[in-house]
């Protein structure tokens, strides 16, 4: 309780302190969001690895290249999410950000999580179809497309944040 009063006193006594506090809260929220996104991506990646193992066990050699590409892209994406800066100047500045602008960032991030869920479903569909080689080819290509789309979308996140400036 005492530390809360101290923060309130600092806010009123130091010009710009409230903006600084908001900046740090945004930075921490962004970090937590990306950590959760990375965890969910890793979980999907482990499902993809398991499916790849099933494909190898079934000797479906025609699909190794596609699966290699998917697993390599997942490694790159997870690395991007884990190592991206904790934000961008406009989003984390002390300047007050309009609520509708923040809503666009939240909507974008929500869509990223929905995409991870969809990639997980594609991996599950692929796992169920390993016995049918023609279905494996189709589903592996769909999964690769979904992973590539996620990668491009995550790269656009910076642009969404920069629009807040």
pLDDT digits (tens, 9 = 90+) for 16-70: 545 445 666 777 777 888 899 999 999 999 999 999 999 999 999 999 999 999 9
As a whole number of angstroms, the distance between CA 90 and CA 9 comes to 27
pTM exceeds 0.95 for this model: no
Are 66 and 142 contacting, i.e. CB atoms less than 8 angstroms apart?
no
Phi and psi, residue 14, nearest 5°: -110, 115
Are 163 and 101 contacting, i.e. CB atoms less than 8 angstroms apart?
yes
The residue ranking higher by pLDDT, 136 or 3, is 136
Are 86 and 31 contacting, i.e. CB atoms less than 8 angstroms apart?
yes
Percent of the chain having pLDDT more than 90? 54
pLDDT of 15 higher than 70: no
Are 32 and 104 contacting, i.e. CB atoms less than 8 angstroms apart?
no
* Average of per-residue pLDDT across 102-115: 85
**Which pLDDT value is given to residue 160?**
76
* Average of per-residue pLDDT across 96-100: 57
- What are all long-range contacts of 68-76, with beta carbons under 8 Å and residues at least 24 apart? 69/144, 70/140, 70/143, 70/144, 70/147, 71/45, 73/144, 73/147, 73/148, 73/151, 74/41, 74/44, 74/45, 74/48, 74/147, 75/45, 76/151
Q: What residue ranges do the domains of the chain occupy?
A: 2-162
Are 131 and 145 contacting, i.e. CB atoms less than 8 angstroms apart?
no
Segment 63-95, tens digit of pLDDT: 999 999 999 999 999 999 998 765 544 454 544
Percent of the chain having pLDDT more than 70? 72
The residue ranking higher by pLDDT, 134 or 12, is 134
CA atoms within 13 A on the CB side of 82: 11
**Which pLDDT value is given to residue 93?**
53
């Amino acid at each position: 309780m005492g530390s809360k009063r101290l923060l309130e006193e600092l806010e009123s006594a130091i010009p710009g302190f409230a903006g600084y506090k908001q900046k740090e809260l945004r930075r921490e929220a962004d970090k937590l969001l990306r950590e959760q996104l990375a965890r969910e991506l890793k979980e999907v990646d482990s499902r993809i690895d398991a499916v790849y193992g099933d494909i190898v066990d079934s000797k479906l050699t025609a699909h190794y290249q596609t699966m290699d590409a998917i697993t390599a892209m997942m490694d790159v994406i997870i690395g991007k999410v884990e190592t991206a800066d904790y934000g961008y100047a406009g989003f984390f500045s002390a300047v007050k950000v309009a609520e509708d602008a923040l809503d666009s960032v939240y909507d974008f991030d929500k869509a990223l999580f929905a995409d991870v869920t969809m990639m997980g479903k594609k991996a599950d569909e692929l796992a169920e179809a390993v016995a049918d080689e023609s279905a494996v080819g189709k589903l592996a290509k769909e999964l690769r497309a979904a992973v590539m789309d996620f990668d491009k979308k995550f790269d656009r996140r910076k642009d969404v944040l920069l629009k807040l400036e």
